[in-house]
Homo-oligomer: A and B are copies of this chain.
Amino acid sequence: MTKAQLFDQIKLKRSFLCIGLDPVLENLPEHLLDDEDPIFSFNKAIIDATEDLCVAYKPNTAFYEMYGTKGWNSLQKTWSYFSKDLFTIADAKRGDIGNTSKMYAAAFFNEERSGMGFDAVTVAPYMGSDSVVPFLNHEHKWVILLALTSNAGSTDFQSLHVGGKNRLYEEVIARSSKWGNSEQIMYVVGATKADAFESLRALAPDSFFLVPGIGAQGGSLAEVCRFGLNKTCGLLVNSARQIIYAGKGTDFAEMARAEALKVQQEMEVILHQHDLI
């Protein structure tokens, strides 16, 4: 999906919501547990109930790998169920030497090879350019590079000043913008770090930011939008637990929809206020 197509979807749906599909068996509604593949049944119901309210879905691979081959199969079925107008993100946080990153790119982008063709994959920048570039050699596919993450540990290394000037997360954006452009690279910027959005937006004025940390992790949508929005929206705001676990009964999907609707409506107001729709 191109940036223009993504912005079109945002305008059409009046939403820049990304829903995190991070299911754990222990948290699923009980009536699903007898299904052959409860994880897929759950995802399918959540997708059916929310796909008109969000532009993106983001399964985190950890939640599938935890169940071994069976889990990987649930991930593959979930990807196959996504309709083509959705922006699909494999939240995999991969990254390895060039030859190996090429294999990871095949795993997530090359449907013929792996059975999955996500639009985007999250990548960790620690190993540098040749760990990222192989993901950029796929047309209309995206790298979403970790910049400033939403967790407490982000202060351990990401916030350190490097070479006496930039912080490491700023250096990640500065350097990686030479490896690809804003049609290929997005950045992960945590909603819990709203005060960093102004400087990050200045560093990457045209890039999309994928923003986790709204909801369960405590970030505020209004704060993120204040400096985060740009002329093509430029934000995909992720919510997982708050939406997918809104209810635990047989009406869990309707409860999830109600929660997603609240976020979409808040986003619609914001898009209007910023003259984006």
Question: Within the assembled complex, what's the spacing in Å between the Cα atoms of A7 and B132?
Answer: 36
Question: Which residues in B have their C-beta under 8 angstroms from that of A97?
Answer: 149-151, 217
Closest Cβ of chain B: how far from A164's Cβ, in Å?
Answer: 6
Q: How many identical subunits does the complex contain?
A: 2
Question: Which residues in B have their C-beta under 8 angstroms from that of A76?
Answer: 68-69
A66 adjacent to chain B (CB < 8 Å): yes
The 7 closest A-B pairs by CB, nearest first: A128-B153, A128-B156, A65-B107, A62-B103, A68-B115, A68-B114, A160-B162
Question: Within the assembled complex, what's the spacing in Å between the Cα atoms of A162 and B170?
Answer: 13
Chain A residues with CB under 8 Å of chain B are: 22, 24, 60, 62-63, 65-69, 71-73, 76, 93-98, 100-101, 103-104, 106-108, 110, 113-116, 124-132, 146, 149-158, 160-164, 168, 171-172, 175, 217
Question: Within the assembled complex, what's the spacing in Å between the Cα atoms of A223 and B10?
Answer: 55
Q: Are B154 and A62 in contact (CB under 8 A)?
A: no
Closest Cβ of chain B: how far from A18's Cβ, in Å?
Answer: 16
Q: Are B69 and A69 in contact (CB under 8 A)?
A: yes
Question: Within the assembled complex, what's the spacing in Å between the Cα atoms of A162 and B126?
Answer: 14
Q: Are B114 and A127 in contact (CB under 8 A)?
A: no
Q: Are B130 and A151 in contact (CB under 8 A)?
A: yes
Q: Are B124 and A126 in contact (CB under 8 A)?
A: yes
Q: Are B175 and A156 in contact (CB under 8 A)?
A: yes
Can you sample 27 A-B contacts with CB below 8 Å? A22-B100, A24-B103, A60-B103, A66-B106, A66-B113, A67-B113, A68-B76, A68-B107, A68-B113, A69-B115, A71-B114, A93-B96, A98-B153, A124-B127, A125-B126, A126-B126, A126-B149, A126-B157, A127-B146, A128-B151, A128-B156, A129-B156, A131-B153, A132-B153, A160-B162, A161-B164, A168-B168
